[in-house]
Structure 1
């Protein structure tokens, strides 16, 4: 009986744990951004993540397939690493220098909206009324958050630097997702994550040395214990462990059920940021966040098989 309960509830508990870890990555990133140069911090994050992901990939038998990859597949890995790891991580920590973690977590709810909108255009994915309603609601909620409850201000170019940098995260993640559909078909998720994380770490190292200089990495290495605790959590908790739980959930329950838990991430991010960092939550964040999360849930509902 106990084994049956574990088989039923285990994947759901791991997916809930994944949502908590990904939600907590926003306040952790805020701590790192306030104590480390952003490119150096991002570089160290993925170096530490690769130290876990590459051995995991090796013991899972993933190294055997590397010699069989075509030049196009390796090109796809480089493109995915440049967008989903290098670009996203650079914008992530740079944006969190200027923007509270809770607000940034809500802005990122634009990810599924923009991704699906372009997928409909490029890959001719289906779009029904329920999905369209969810997209509209989520996008409107993100606009309310970005504009501090004054959407008309966006027309006058009054969006802050922090918001623009986090929107760069959205652009990079959308590019990563769409590139993956074209160039990484047939590659398992663990191999994709391990290889792109390693490629992204190398690109971040080069960028850090060019932009911040050797002093940037030196400053990051000599940061305080709180920043290093956040960095280790981000590398091993919110990256390696969270991905493991996510892959397990997708395998056990399917991608649709797993994506439902991702809807919780921005809510958890706001709550943990308020509790741990003392960030305030204003009316525009409450209203816009509720709209964005509800819109994402409606989108997931509309994408269920008929």
Structure 2
């Protein structure tokens, strides 16, 4: 019994990393089959069908009427960046870029977040964190540039890489908005409300940019695409967040966040297994550096 109590949160956090890693090949399947904005809208609309009742059963609805206008503004901003912006760049980028490579580019998330947090919130950086940052950035550059870092200076970055870098920018903004405007709000309420707001924004954007027929095209997509979409909505969103919240509660935010460093590794491996994507030398070397860098950063923050 004690063994299960000890290993349970760790196993669920590994499961969370697997689900989030698998979201990249799932997103690639959807991006090849559905209009990206319509697909992203359906993903978060379906996720909200689980998250909102979950929030209600957890007693989260009682606090909504006490939220200040600033808090609602923060939710709106977080939904616009962390859901609408991130999801739009995510599926649009996966139209042009292999899922495994995209998963490695995302290792820039913690680097950019920590750098800006150090600037805005005066977070202290130590030599260990700095070494991890440098390693992660160099690794990501090797992946993005196909092993030719000087090519970046010559504008050789493709559209897919630029779109996935848009995911990085949106996630950093989402994280900083959360620290600035959403202090004191539990993670479940934040996820449920921002997912609902983001789904509404994605719906409006899809109707305007892709046209009214986009949802119909998404609706009539293949069974494989719908399977990937349902996995993203219920597996990589609702279930993965549930396991992550459980890990944070049992082990603390620092220990739980360390498992996120496994996400790009699982993303690459699952993409190769399910989609037959090749892992070339720049991905192997740069990915190892990027993943090691994020692990060193996590260790340094402790």
Please provide the CA RMSD for this pair.
0.4
Deviations 1:207-252 (A, max 9, x none): 0000011111100011010000000000000000000000000110
How far apart are 1:68 and its partner, in Å? 0.3
Match of 1:211 among 209, 222, 241: 209
CA distance in 2, matches of 1:6, 1:68: 39
CA separation in 2, counterparts of 1:165 and 1:22?
19
Kindly report which structure 2 residues correspond to 1:29-108, keeping only aligned pairs within 5 A, or say none. Answer: 29-108=27-106
- State how far apart, in whole Å, the 2-side matches of 1:156 and 1:118 are: 26
Deviation at 1:32, TM superposition (A): 0.2
State the shift of 1:73 in Å.
0.1
3-state DSSP of counterpart to 2:17:
helix
Residue 181 (structure 2) pairs with residue 183 (structure 1): yes
Match of 1:117 in 2: 115
Deviation at 1:136, TM superposition (A): 0.4
Q: How far does residue 259 in structure 1 lie from its aligned partner after superposition?
A: 1.3
Structure 2 residue aligned with 1:267: 265
Moved over 6 A (4+): none
The one-character-per-residue Cα deviations of 1:138-190 (angstroms, maximum 9, x if unpaired) are: 00000000000000000011100000000000000000000110000000000
The residue that corresponds to 1:140 in the other structure is: 138
Q: TM-score, normalised by structure 1?
A: 0.98
Match for residue 225 of structure 1?
223
Report the Cα offset of residue 195 of structure 1: 0.1
Greater mean deviation of Cα atoms: 251-260 or 239-248:
251-260
Instruction: Give the drift of 1:255.
Output: 1.1
Deviation of residue 46 (structure 1)? 0.2
Q: Deviations over 1:263-301 (max 9, x none)?
A: 100000000000000000100000000000000000011
Distance, in Å, in 1 between the alignment partners of 2:287 and 2:96 is 19
User: Distance between the aligned counterparts of 2:257 and 2:56, measured in 1?
Assistant: 27
Counterpart Cα distance in 1 of 2:192 and 2:299:
31
TM-score, with length taken from structure 2: 1.00
The CA deviation at 1:5 is 1.2
Residue 280 of structure 1 is matched in structure 2 by 278
Residue pairs, 1:246-265, within 5 angstroms: 246-265=244-263
Aligned to 2:18: 20
Answer yes or no: is 1:193 the counterpart of 2:191.
yes
* Cα displacement (A) at 1:6: 1.2
